[in-house]
Every structure is written in structure tokens, then in C-alpha cells.
Amino acid sequence: MTLISAITEAIPSLTDAHTRFGLIRTEDEQFFTEWYEELPKITEAEKTSLDVLRRRYLYHRGEGDLLEGTVMLLVVSPLLALAGFYDPPFKIAAESSVELVLNDGEEILRGRIDVLVLQNQFWVMVLESKKTTLSVWLALPQALADLMANPNADKPVFGMVTNGDDILFIKLTQAGTPRYDLSRVFALFTSVREVYEVLQILRRIGQAIAPV
């Protein structure tokens, strides 16, 4: 009999993600250069838009904790728009269902991705958004499981996890031994320059998948 479980229940920890999928975090500094090398420049107009984004977020955050939907509205959606992921050649799919078949079909893990960015049916990026009371690290096991569900296993896929306060990027490949690595954490409270870099990284990831 096939056991069907929710990803959030079956993969509650980073150790579970490593064990269930044979995942390793690589120590190769050249594996995930997209978050710090050859970042595209952004315009003064874009910086102004990011200033407004951060100011709005801090205004609402000052009233207390924010729910996941509010984080999506204030942070994720504006960043995706500025990064160009709402425009050709990319497409957006919200609340996409994912399924992982393990142990020769004896176990199925199911879940939902908050936002999936695609380009010609290839997964570009998985975005997971959590309410501000949850650490981005708590969302990492689920994000890794979602990334492992990428049907195009020969292509690298990227992830972004945010609780509004913090933003973390992930790169994962499945060719051979599944490997992943992480960026540093970018914090909106620290400086507006943090948000500038986040947009640059999103643009860089878009270029890596769909070069002009």
C-alpha cells in the first residue's frame, strides 16, 4: 500500500531532507556564484522603487508580525515584478502542486509551492513565503523538497525563501549526487542596499536560465 504524506510533515528538518533525498550541501564555492558574481546593475528608478518597497514593509512591520499573504503582497510580488519574472519569457504559477515518489513508489510526498517561476516549462525558481514569526531556516527543508520535485532533473533550479524580514537564496542540481548551496541571508531591516542586492540576484538568476 502506498503511503501518502505531506512534505511539511515528512520533511520537518534539514537532516530529513538530506537523508530522504541523498542531498548534500556542497563546499564548492564555484557551485552557486549567481548570488555574488556578475550581478547586473540596477537603475536609479529601480532603486527608488525598492526604497518605497522597503519603506512600506517597515511601516507595516512596525505594527507587529505579518502573515504570509501580507509578506507576499509587500515583498515577494513587487520583487518578482521588478526582476522581470512577470514578463516573457517567464511565466508565474501560484500554489502549484508538487509530488515526489520515493522508495520505488511505496511513498508519495505532496505539497504546494507558493510561487513557481517557469521558462518554457523548465523550472526557474521556487519561492516560499512564511509569516514573520517563522525563521527562514524553518522553511528550508520544505523548499529543498520542493526543488527536488523539479521534473527537469538535468537543469539547475533556484529557490528563494523569505519571511519578509530575511531573504535566503538556494541553488540545487540533481545530476549525479543531488547537491545544493545557500547564499547569505539578506535582511531588509539592515539597509536598503540589502534589497538592491536581492533584486540584482533575482535578475542574475533570470539571466542564468534565460540568457538574452
pLDDT at 210 over 80: no
pLDDT at 122 over 70: no
φ and ψ at residue 60, rounded to 5 degrees: -70, -35
Angle at 14 between CA 24 and CA 57, to 5 degrees: 115
d(CA 1, CA 200): 47
pLDDT at 137 over 70: yes
- The answer to whether position 42 is within a domain reads yes
- The answer to whether position 31 is within a domain reads yes
CATH assignment at residue 140 = 3.90.1570
Which pTM was predicted? 0.92
Q: What pLDDT, on the 0 to 100 scale, is given for residue 143? A: 92
pLDDT at 95 over 90: no
d(CA 111, CA 89): 26
Provide the number of structural domains found in the chain: 1
Domain that holds residue 82: 24-94+113-209
- The answer to whether position 7 is within a domain reads no
- The answer to whether position 126 is within a domain reads yes
pLDDT at 121 over 70: no
Q: Which of 62-66, 93-97, 126-130 has the lowest mean pLDDT?
A: 126-130
DSSP reduced 3-state for 117: strand
- The answer to whether position 13 is within a domain reads no
Question: Interhelix angle for 14-21 vs 136-148, to 10°?
Answer: 10
* Mean pLDDT in residue range 107-116: 87
* Mean pLDDT in residue range 45-58: 98
- The answer to whether position 132 is within a domain reads yes
- The answer to whether position 120 is within a domain reads yes
CB 143 within 8 Å of CB 8: no
Residue 72 makes CB contacts below 8 A (sequence gap 6+) with: 114, 115, 129
Going by DSSP bridges, is the β-strand pair 24-25/122-129 parallel, antiparallel, or unpaired?
A: unpaired
CA distances from 133 to 11, 129, 184, 186, 209 (A): 20, 12, 20, 17, 33
* Alpha carbon of residue 154 to chain centroid: 19
With bands split at pLDDT 50, 70 and 90, how would you rate the model's confidence at 2? confident
- The answer to whether position 204 is within a domain reads yes
